[in-house]
Amino acid sequence: MATPTTALPLLATTTTLLLLLSILNNVQSKPSNNDDDFGTSLDPSKALGGRMKREKLSHLRLYWHDVVSGPNPTAVMVTSPNRTSASGFGTVIMIDDALTLGPDLKRSKVVGRAQGLYAVASQTEVGLIMAMNFAFIEGKYNGSSISIMGRNRVFTKVREMPIVGGSGLFRFARGYVQASTHTVNLKTGDAVVEYNVYVLHY
């Protein structure tokens, strides 16, 4: 069904579009008196400035720096369980970790930050639940982000976690990441993890 919204200029900003949609919905809902009809079908081929015609698979290789020691840690424990277990079950850590192009934090370019948290979700092994956004600050991905939510058994060689969505250039994102530990400093607990990101987006 053709709706008045399909005639809107394609260059309208998202804010303007949403504003107009809400006005149109208000106007339309009054005569029909149908409050259930609050969604509108849009043509996917015209969405995202025409970019939705072609889905892309991108691979990004990044290094994730979990700094727990020193004066400026980027990973901090926010709660720990009252009852201790060997796995640390219940520990919650909030992160704002640098994402770089190379494994050396001092020498390589920071292209984004991994912001979110991880928590020990297993009572029998160091098995984490990770919920984090890769927020990019460089190049064409600047301002875009990828959301990752998954299980991370840190002593396994390769851990796979789903990409559950994204923003900006990563709108409608899906895919997975593979994490493998690059180095761990056993004295400080600081860790560098290689992330290979495989993301489908438009």
Ligand X SMILES: *[C@@H]1O[C@H](CO)[C@@H](O)[C@H](O)[C@H]1NC(C)=O
Closer residue to ligand X in complex, CB, 142/180: 142
**Contacting ligand X within 48-87 (CB under 6 A):** 82
Q: Give 18 or 137: the residue with its C-beta nearer to ligand X.
A: 137
26 lies in the binding site for ligand X (CB under 6 A): no
Q: Which among 10-18, 54-62, 108-116, 135-143 is the span making contact with ligand X, rule CB under 6 A?
A: 135-143
142 part of the interface to ligand X, by CB under 6 A: yes
Q: Which of 198, 133, 193 is nearest to 166 (CA)?
A: 133
Q: Is 146 exposed, middle or buried (0-12, 13-18, 19+ CB in 10 A)?
A: buried
* Residue with Cβ nearer ligand X (76 or 137): 137
Shortest Å distance, C-beta 137 to ligand X: 6
Contact at 8 Å (CB) between 72 and 65? no
**C-beta of 62 vs 179, nearer to ligand X:** 62
Provide the terminal-to-terminal Cα distance of the chain, rounded to the nearest Å: 25
The DSSP symbol for 16 reads: H
Q: How many Å separate Cα 193 from the centre of its chain?
A: 17
Residues 94 and 76: beta-carbon distance below 8 Å: yes
Indicate the residue among 56 and 109 with the shorter CB distance to ligand X: 109
Q: Please, what is the minimum distance in Å from the beta carbon of residue 139 to ligand X?
A: 7
Say whether residue 143 binds ligand X (CB under 6 A). yes
Least Cα distance to 132 among 188, 75, 184 occurs for 75
Which stretches of the chain bind ligand X, using CB under 6 A? Answer: 82, 137-138, 142-143
